[in-house]
Amino acid sequence: MSKQAEFAVILKMNPMFADLGADELQRLSGLCHTQQLATGEVLFQKGDPGDALFGVRRGQMRIETGASDGSRLTLNFMGSGDLFGEVAVLDGQDRTADATAGEPTELFVLRREDFLGFLEREPKVAVRLIALLCQRIRWQSERMEESVLQPLPVRLARRLCALAEDFGSEVHISQEQLGIFVGAARESVNRQLQTWRKDGIVDLQRGRIMLHNMTKLTAVARND
């Protein structure tokens, strides 16, 4: 399968492009090119121009932001098949967060001018994009509510379940990164993971978390 055909598959799996026909997807994917990133390489930083939409062909991207005290907050992880950069590529304004490769990564890149030209020719894609952005707003609201109201085990289980959807039962993430992601100290995350390890829910290895019992983990995430 060609890279353009792979990008068409990724687009088809995304809600924004799911209603497009094969010919439309082919035309859109034909506008893309690819970019390689090494582990830790920065794709863009907060404040950079929003000049492209990205799709992850392989690897992992971390979407992060920083505070004045030097701390980092991981907003999201992007794995194979995920798209990101929709907001900035539409309004052309500055990026609102940093994007860094968590491992060797290959991206599909769709430039803003090419994408906007396509939207002018395909208005139903623009309508889908509006719906997707509303979904993102709801997701952010839910996460804010979660961080304030839900206990750590629930927040942690939900994040691991979400990561498992993209990366399977072997999640490559450090406990420190996971703590930043759920808004908790590494020590608190470690204590909870150790409890789950004793219960046979997870296994812990250096830089990795093996998810052995998704049924129990999902039950915790639902706060059953």
Residue 56 pLDDT class (50, 70, 90 cuts): very high
Model confidence at 143: pLDDT above 70: no
Q: What's the domain count of the chain?
A: 2
Model confidence at 43: pLDDT above 90: yes
Structure tokens at 144: 């804010």
Model confidence at 39: pLDDT above 80: yes
Task: Assign residue 123 the CATH number of its domain.
Answer: 2.60.120.10
Q: Can you say whether the dihedral through the CA atoms of 79, 83, 85, 86 is positive or negative?
A: negative
Looking at the structure, tell me whether residues 61 and 13 fall in a common domain.
yes
Does the pTM of the predicted model rise above 0.75? no
Least confident segment among 29-33, 83-87, 118-122? 83-87
Q: Among the three residues 97, 127, 144, which one is the final residue of a domain in this structure? A: 144
Q: Among the three residues 111, 144, 177, which one is the final residue of a domain in this structure? A: 144
Please report, rounded to a whole number, the percentage of residues in the chain having pLDDT higher than 90. 33
- Terminal C-alpha separation, the chain: 43
User: In this predicted model, which residue has the larger pLDDT, 67 or 18?
Assistant: 18
Rounded to a whole number, what is the largest CA-CA distance in the chain? 56
Residue 106 pLDDT class (50, 70, 90 cuts): very high
Residue 146 pLDDT class (50, 70, 90 cuts): low
User: In this predicted model, which residue has the larger pLDDT, 5 or 148?
Assistant: 5
Mean of per-residue pLDDT scores for the chain? 85
Q: What's the whole-number mean pLDDT along residues 123-134?
A: 79
User: In this predicted model, which residue has the larger pLDDT, 43 or 205?
Assistant: 43
Q: How far apart are CA 159 and CA 94, in angstroms?
A: 28
Q: Among the three residues 82, 110, 144, which one is the final residue of a domain in this structure? A: 144
User: In this predicted model, which residue has the larger pLDDT, 221 or 132?
Assistant: 221
Model confidence at 94: pLDDT above 70: yes
- Domain containing 167 equals 152-222
Looking at the structure, tell me whether residues 157 and 138 fall in a common domain.
no
Residue 200 pLDDT class (50, 70, 90 cuts): very high
| 157-183 tens-digit pLDDT | 988 998 888 778 888 888 887 887 787
Contact between 214 and 151 under an 8 Å Cβ cutoff? The reply is no
Contact between 128 and 19 under an 8 Å Cβ cutoff? The reply is yes
Looking at the structure, tell me whether residues 12 and 123 fall in a common domain.
yes
Looking at the structure, tell me whether residues 31 and 130 fall in a common domain.
yes
Looking at the structure, tell me whether residues 128 and 202 fall in a common domain.
no
Q: What is the pLDDT of residue 169?
A: 84
Task: For the chain, give the DSSP string.
Answer: --HHHHHHHHHHHSTTTTT--HHHHHHHHTT-EEEEE-TT-EEE-TTSB--EEEEEEES-EEEEEE-TTS-EEEEEEE-TT-EE-HHHHHH--B-SSEEEESSSEEEEEEEHHHHHHHHHH-HHHHHHHHHHHHHHHHHHHHHHHHHHHS-HHHHHHHHHHHHHHHHTTEE---HHHHHHHHT--HHHHHHHHHHHHHTTSEEEETTEEEE--HHHHHHHHTT-
Task: Assign residue 202 the CATH number of its domain.
Answer: 1.10.10.10
Q: What is the pLDDT of residue 108?
A: 94
